[in-house]
């Protein structure tokens, strides 16, 4: 099994944290999240992962709320979606989070 992990800066106060495991080229687990630096700490805004045995996305709010959405995708498809969505939409997610939306 191989593990790939990295953190990519997206802006002055945003970064993407990526981790996935693969066995013989097949994705066996993953977590990709957008983190924003606010209130003197890094906070998770969006997290895609395969915890709980299925692919899903959690959206976090500044007031502590969290919304979960099942993706109905296999792990490889969900990992690709996670990377692309955060790459394309991180700024909008950051703004919504810091504005409390």
Number of domains in the chain: 1
Task: Assign 52 a pLDDT band (cuts: 50, 70, 90).
Answer: confident
The Cβ of residue 98 has, within 10 Å, a number of other Cβ atoms equal to: 17
Please give the model's pTM, rounded to 2 decimal places: 0.93
Per-residue pLDDT reduced to its tens digit, 3-46:
999 999 998 999 999 999 999 999 999 999 999 999 899 999 99
Q: Tell me the residue range of the domain where 75 lies.
A: 2-98
Helix (H) or strand (E) holding 9: strand 2-11
CA 60/CA 35 separation, integer angstroms? 10
Task: Assign 58 a pLDDT band (cuts: 50, 70, 90).
Answer: very high
């Amino acid at each position: 099994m191989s593990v790939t992990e990295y953190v990519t800066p997206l802006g002055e106060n945003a970064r993407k944290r990526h981790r996935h495991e693969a066995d013989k080229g097949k994705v066996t687990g993953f977590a990709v999240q957008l983190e924003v630096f606010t209130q003197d700490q890094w906070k998770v805004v969006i997290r895609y992962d395969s915890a709980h045995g299925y692919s899903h996305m959690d959206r976090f709010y500044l007031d502590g709320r969290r919304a979960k959405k099942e993706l109905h995708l296999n792990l490889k498809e969900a990992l690709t979606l996670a990377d692309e969505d955060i790459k394309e939409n991180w700024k909008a997610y950051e703004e919504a989070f810091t504005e409390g939306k």
